[in-house]
Structures are given as C-alpha cells and as structure tokens.
Structure 1
Amino acid sequence: MRNSISVDTLPRANSRVMTSEFGRDLLMGLAQTPRSIPPKYFYDAVGSALFDRICDLPEYYLTRTEQTILSTHASEIAEWIGPHAEIVEFGAGSLKKIQTLLDAFDTDRSPARYLPIDISGEHIAQAAAQLRARYPTLLVQPIIGDYTAPLTLPPTDTRIGQRVGFFPGSTLGNFHPDEALAFLRSAAGMLRGGSLLIGIDLIKHPARLHAAYNDSQGVTAAFNLNVLRRANNELGADFDTDQFNHHAIYHPVLQRIEMHLISRREQTVSIGDQRVLFSEGDTIHTESSYKYTIDGFRSLAVKAGFRAGPVWTDRERQFSVHWLHAPRG
C-alpha cells in the first residue's frame, strides 16, 4: 500500500503539528519509503528515563562495559584531559558517566566548566542540579539543543584549560556513516585545538547484539514504542501503540542493528489533518546502531580531521574508548 501522505501535502497539516520540529520531521519521515522517525525523538522525559533503565539491563552490555573501561583508566584519561579543562558532553542524558572522570581529578586540577548538551530540557535540568550539588566548585552550564546541529558554545578564557568533547555510549553508531563523518568534522571544528573522548561499540557475535536490543523485560520495546506515545501527547496523533510491535535485528553486511516498529494490522493513524495508512507488516525504521572495528573507526576519525590517540578496550574487546586530537588550524 502506498503512503497516504507526501511532502507536497505537509503544509496542510494543522498548526500544532507544523509549528513543531518533531511534527514536521515525523510527517516527513512517514512520507518516505521506507518510513522512518529520527531517533533523537526517543528522548523526551519518559524516553530518557526508559533509556536509563535500558543501561542497567543485564543484556545491555554497552553501558556496563564502557563504564568498566572508564573506571579502569580514569586516572590516565584525566592526565590526557589536563588541569582546569572545559568538558563538552554531547547527548549528556543523566550525566552519570561524566562523574567517573570528575572523580579521577585532584582538587587543584579538576575541570573548570562542564557543558552538557541534550535535547531533553527537563531531564537535563534535573540531572544538572544533582551534579552541582555533588561538585559545588564545578561550573555546570547545560545547553538544551540538538548536538547534531550547529551550536555556539560559551567563550572560554585563560583560566580554562583545553576543551574536551565527551561522547560516550557509542551514540555515534546511531548515525549513517556519512552522518557520522559530518558530525566528527563538526566536532573537530568545535573542539579546535582540544580533544574528543568517544565511546564506540565494536563488532561482535550477532547473538550478543540481538539480546542487547531485545531484552527479556521488554524495556527496549517500551522505549521504542514511546516515540509513538510522544506523538500522541505532543501532536494530538492517535497511534494505537498496542497495534505496533518492537523489532530489532543485526545486519552483518551493513554492520548495524536496526530497530523498527511493525504494524500488527491494517490501520489508519491521524496526525493533525493528515492520515497515514499502514498495512499489516508495514514498518517504521526508528534507529540504526552501527558497529565498528577499532581500525575502521580510527580511519573515519582521521578522515574527519582528527589525529588518533590512545584507545582503551575491555578484556573481551566488546567496546572501545578513543582519545582523538582535534586539529589546531
């Protein structure tokens, strides 16, 4: 069945939808073949809380393994960061991982400023308040916005050391390789003369990947379906979430996990003035998560203008954390 909406008809949608970036992107994505929703819209307050739960699941090795790497090598990483640094965290979320790095510094060398960037304003405001209470001498300045878009950071001064980007969680894997390259190039410019500390998930046995994205408690399924609930709450859409199934699968040729929502039956969904027709089995692609080899990622970073520094992994080489030097000129 052909999609019932097209780009040409989008301006006729009601103002509640078209004045929202989420609404415009949702209609654009559902007008495409195959249908899609940008994964950044997972992260409203509910979605961010669900993702925090995912990170604690036994099947979800990524957070646990990355945390082990950061904890094991925190002192060494702190030396690379240097004294009185400014740390810019992309997609900061709950602000938990940065604490491992902050705790590794001596008081007289601790970072001067922390700029967490996140699209979920409510979630990051609460997390920032908790962080200030724990680190009262650290200047915490949340930036609410899309870190994939151009951003203007506060100016630095001579009291602040190098600017270090922090991008944990293998979130770069959510980008198509061309988008990942574009982001890294943008980050290289933003961090000019500084560095980037980034977590990258590695290629591994498909069974391990399948389990991580199809957890037995159904938290990942709830996280995936929440983007439809968000559309209902914010845009007045009428998705019946009981009529969509979560589906995640690893494609070894593309080296990526794909997450989809699958229509369980023929149905019509209203979004503003638009109607979207779904046949049984139609899918909405909500996320890709690319996996890398160490050499493959380092080559991508060098192509973006970075100079590769040290890399840290766990004993099983499930995950990697890379230090990259941004260009100066």
Structure 2
Amino acid sequence: LVQNFTKPVVFFKGSTITNLSTSNCLKFFGRISQALKPDGILIVGVDANQNESSLRGAYDTEIVAKFVLNIFHFMNRDLPITNFNSAAFKYEFEWLAPWHCVKHNANATKEQNFVLDGISINIKKGTKFHLLSSYKYPVDYFQNLAIEGGLKPIDYFVDENQPMVIHVLGVS
C-alpha cells in the first residue's frame, strides 16, 4: 500500500513498537525503510520512561497482573490440557535498565503436574516464566536504532507531563 503514494506517511503508535525488542525494532525499520520512498515519513510514538518507580506504578498493578496472567486461563480453556491450575501463578514486574526493558513474568506459586496434548509436564514451585516485554527507548537510543535500520531522524517531540516521544523519521 505504501508504494501507491508519492510521499507516504506511516504512523506507528507507541503501544505497538514498544513491544519490539531491539533486534525486532531494527528488522521493522529495515522493512519500512525499504518500503518508504525517499520522501516518505514514518511517525512513531515511543514510551521513553526510564524511571523505575514510575514504571512500577504503571505496570505492577492488579489490572496488569490479570491481563498478563490471563494467558494461563486461555490455556486451560483452549488447549487439550488436564489437571492444570491456571490460578497457580503470581505476576512479577522486572525492570532491566541496561536494556530499557520491563519484563512481565509469572512465577509458579506451587508445584503442579499436568498433561498437555498427551505430554506430561511438571512445573516446580518458584519457576519463572517470562511472558511479555515492554521496551522504553530513550530518544538517543531510539534514534540510533532508526539510523541503523536505514532511517534518519528528522525531528521529535516530547510530552511535557510524561516521557512519551513522537519521532519523525525519513529514509536515509
């Protein structure tokens, strides 16, 4: 679709790109830079929050815990599984500052043995499962990713009240 426009503008909202790891972000930028014509623009919203206390306040909540742990309820409902206790997990927030990453984990609160599609599985109490990541890319880091992915930073705008950033990128 991008090829149908002389000067395409692509908008990629922040809640999506922040789920991409650095390597997947680079792949995305590479694909977009190939698809956009030289005058094309990519506008990307990014959460750049690096404050652990603020991140904990936003993510280490009962609502997020229910959202993240809901995968276990879907497993019970949708998979050929027997004797699986979907409620035997506790949510864990983890901030990895060097990687600009919030990890959403589930910890087994008790040992359980169950069968999934005919395969016996044992989960020990305390086993940690990494279920989801949210990346919080600072401006300079994100712009360097864009450059490495074949794009060039044109401008960016920072929200005064929150560390949200809108990046405007062109093709290198």
Structure-2-length-normalised TM-score: 0.87
If each structure's strand is expressed as a fraction of its own residues, which one has the higher value? Answer: 2
Percent identity for Structure 1 against Structure 2: 25
Residue matched to 2:99: 254
Contact between 1:181 and 1:304, CA under 8 Å: does it hold in 2?
yes
**Are 2:43 and 2:168, in contact at CA under 8 Å, matched by a contact in 1?**
yes
1:161–1:240: structure 2 CA closer, same or farther, 3 Å change rule?
farther
Partner SS, residue 110 of structure 2:
coil
Change (3 A) 1:269 1:185: farther
CA contact (8 A) 2:2 2:8 kept: no
1:175-229: per-residue Cα shift (whole Å, max 9, x none)?
22122111211122233442211111114321100111112xx221111112222
Q: Is the 8 Å Cα contact of residues 50 and 97 (structure 2) preserved in structure 1? A: no
Change (3 A) 1:231 1:155: farther
1:286 equivalent to 2:131? Answer yes
Which structure carries more helix by proportion? 1
Which residue in the other structure is 1:313 paired with?
A: 158
What letter matches 1:274 in structure 2?
A: I
1:240 matched to 2:92: no
- Quote the residue 1:228 is aligned against: 72
CA positional deviation for 1:253: 2.8
Tell me the equivalent position of 2:47.
201
**1:97 aligned residue:** none
* Structure 1 residue 162 displacement after superposition: 2.9
1:183 matched to 2:25? The reply is no
Tell me the amino acid that sits aligned with residue 242 of structure 1: A
Contact 1:170-1:198 within 8 A present in 2 as well: no
Work out whether 1:296 is the aligned partner of 2:141: yes
Q: Select which of 19, 26, 36 maps to 1:174.
A: 19
Structure 2 counterpart of 1:245, one-letter code = K
Q: In structure 1, the residue corresponding to 2:14 is in which secondary structure?
A: coil
* TM-score, normalised relative to structure 1: 0.48
In the TM superposition, residue 154 of structure 1 has moved relative to its aligned partner by: 8.2
* Corresponding position: 1:265 with 2:106: no
Question: Which residue identity is paired with 2:34?
Answer: G
**Relative contact order, CA 8 A, sep 6+: which one is greater?**
2
User: 4+ residue stretches of structure 1 with deviation over 3 A?
Assistant: none
Pick closer, same or farther for the CA change 1:195–1:264 going to 2, 3 Å.
Answer: same
Paired with 2:69 and 2:162, the residues of 1 have a C-alpha distance of 31
Following TM superposition, by how much is the alpha carbon of 1:169 offset from its aligned partner in structure 2, in angstroms?
2.3
User: Which residue matches 1:106?
Assistant: none
Q: Deviation of residue 170 (structure 1)?
A: 4.1
Q: Deviations over 1:203-262 (max 9, x none)?
A: 4321100111112xx221111112222223332335422101111121223321110111
User: RMSD across aligned C-alpha pairs, in angstroms?
Assistant: 2.1
Contact 2:92/2:107 (8 A) holds in 1: yes
Q: Which runs of 5+ in 2 are unaligned?
A: none
Q: Deviations over 1:101-150 (max 9, x none)?
A: xxxxxxxxxxxxxxxxxxxxxxxxxxxxxxxxxxxxxxxxxxxxxxxxxx
